[in-house]
Structure 1
């Protein structure tokens, strides 16, 4: 009897702490997309494992609890996928495909909840929907693994890299535990979440011990080799996605897209690139404006300034003259006669 009490305690420990941790992360996110997705991921796993523990010790649990747990299970994969996506993409500008993706998932969940409730379709849920949910979870795991592999170079230089890799590895462990539960015990899946959560907390505490809340970089220069890799990743990002053309681009947003802390990016530009963030963007925008002036002589200067990412004509004129020594109009005239 005592062993059953201990089993219940450790199995439910992960579910309870997961819900608490998710609530705290969501409250502290303050609009941070990546942290919101992390909170949602932990919440979905907490609900899923809570349902497992409840069903293991109380087989006559109401069907609504089973459906809630399985619905949360269905959302684990998407939450993990969008966690990685949000850390590698610009969270302020979700793509149209992402919005359709999320909309389709929510519509599917709503349709199944309303049209096929567990209480009236027990056999369908046990033999079709529940296995389908597990394989959908696997599909998102494979998709997220491919996404992590695609961004592996950036993740090596990112402080969020260990977090994302740890989350991916932890979800793999939990999925395997549930998938192989038929050969062990159904409660193993819940116990695996407790194990993963405790290990994650211990690692976070170890990494944070003795560190300031905001990463200081005074008197600690980035090694040249590491800086070169990060600067190349920044150059590839800007060349590939042309983020400098967004007039509203900020240092925090660019840091999130690059996957490094804001202070780290600022240090990288100032110490290793000998330029400020504002100067870095200005140079890229002036280069873009020069190309537009040469390629499209008939395009008005207002349009050139807007397409190059400048917020106003006055900023465009002053920045261009400071970088090139002449006005945009003079540059266009010189380019036309060259």
Structure 2
């Protein structure tokens, strides 16, 4: 092996090794277990697997064919993992259908590998499966790019105005696109380009990611585009807002409005819908409906205790519920008993 090839081998292998290490970091050792971190760890793992196979096969063509099968199979998971890294990072939440999505791909990889092993079907893998793999990878790249098109446009056109998370996801997408292009050009046998170019592109992008992580004193704002959703008010701020909320709810009897919305309440105390929802969820541990129903049930208990002439159904409507069943269900949830039992106990001498 010449000096030039030794240098290529060194950088390619080093990139693959560090890729595995970084994938373990994102899978197991990040301080906050964002779903986007887990997908990024999985993405780096399959990319590192592909790079490692490329490097070792490129410099030793006598390796067992199973390594070629593993390398090509890993490519089938690059696209799906990239898509879910971006989707979960931008949307913060994704449907649990991702489990079925990935299970189908993994099952397909294992089944095809078992039925058509590379050792017995090299032409099928090299000429047909490889083409389908690149097509699948390209489709996921296209879908991922479409998903973050506004983010990419903002980052590319005005880099300085983009926030750290936007630049982070932009790097991940463009890095994967560069790796795909390098591998595809090698697969298409473009002159002066080989698959080892993809390995070097991966190494470059990997060290760019590592530099970003080392440069920043905190990284929580990278992994979610709207990381502020996880913020929690301190005790003093929470107490002030809680008292303000309680006062406005009682004095104006807002809860008696059966169509009361989060927007209505946030407008009354001059904060955004997002801030109010964040406070209720993170500081009080309840959603908006539960919060409002507490006032309604408290008022219902006062009416039931002081007036036995009203029907329980009318009490529910009076305090803001829009149906008898909703009132009864909420009452039992908050008091542990039904309105009728509560009335009987309250009116006993």
Q: Normalising to structure 2: TM-score of the pair?
A: 0.64
SS in 2 for 1:15: helix
Partner Cα distance (2:295, 2:316) in 1: 12
Pick the structure with greater CA Rg.
2
SS in 2 for 1:43: helix
Q: CA deviation at 1:64?
A: 1.2
> What's 1:14 paired with?
15
SS in 1 for 2:18: helix
Q: CA deviation at 1:265?
A: 7.5
Change (3 A) 1:308 1:214: closer
Q: CA deviation at 1:24?
A: 1.8
> What's 2:135 paired with?
135
Q: CA deviation at 1:69?
A: 0.9
Q: CA deviation at 1:113?
A: 1.8
Among 201, 204, 220, the residue aligned to 1:195? 204
SS in 2 for 1:60: coil
Among 8, 14, 34, the residue aligned to 1:32? 34
Among 281, 287, 290, the residue aligned to 1:310? 290
> What's 1:101 paired with?
101
Partner Cα distance (2:256, 2:81) in 1: 37
Partner Cα distance (2:228, 2:287) in 1: 28
Q: Normalising to structure 1: TM-score of the pair?
A: 0.65
SS in 2 for 1:291: coil
Q: CA deviation at 1:317?
A: 3.5
CA root-mean-square deviation: 4.2
Change (3 A) 1:287 1:329: closer
Kindly indicate whether the alpha-carbon contact (under 8 Å) linking 1:173 and 1:192 is maintained by their aligned counterparts in 2: yes
Render the CA deviation track for 1:176-222: whole Å, top value 9, x for unaligned: 1111122212211101111111122223323x1xx35778xxxxxxx
Pair 1:330-2:318 in alignment:
yes
Pair 1:180-2:168 in alignment:
no
SS in 2 for 1:119: coil
Change (3 A) 1:320 1:123: farther
Instruction: Mark the runs of 5 or more structure 1 residues left unpaired by the alignment.
Output: 216-254, 294-305, 322-326
In the TM superposition, 1:48-59 aligns within 5 A as: 48-59=50-61
In the TM superposition, 1:270-285 aligns within 5 A as: none
Partner Cα distance (2:287, 2:256) in 1: 8
Instruction: Mark the runs of 5 or more structure 2 residues left unpaired by the alignment.
Output: 156-160, 262-285, 302-314, 323-349
Render the CA deviation track for 1:27-62: whole Å, top value 9, x for unaligned: 114643111001001111111011111111011111
SS in 2 for 1:180: helix
Structure number with higher relative contact order (C-alpha < 8 Å, ≥ 6 residues apart): 1
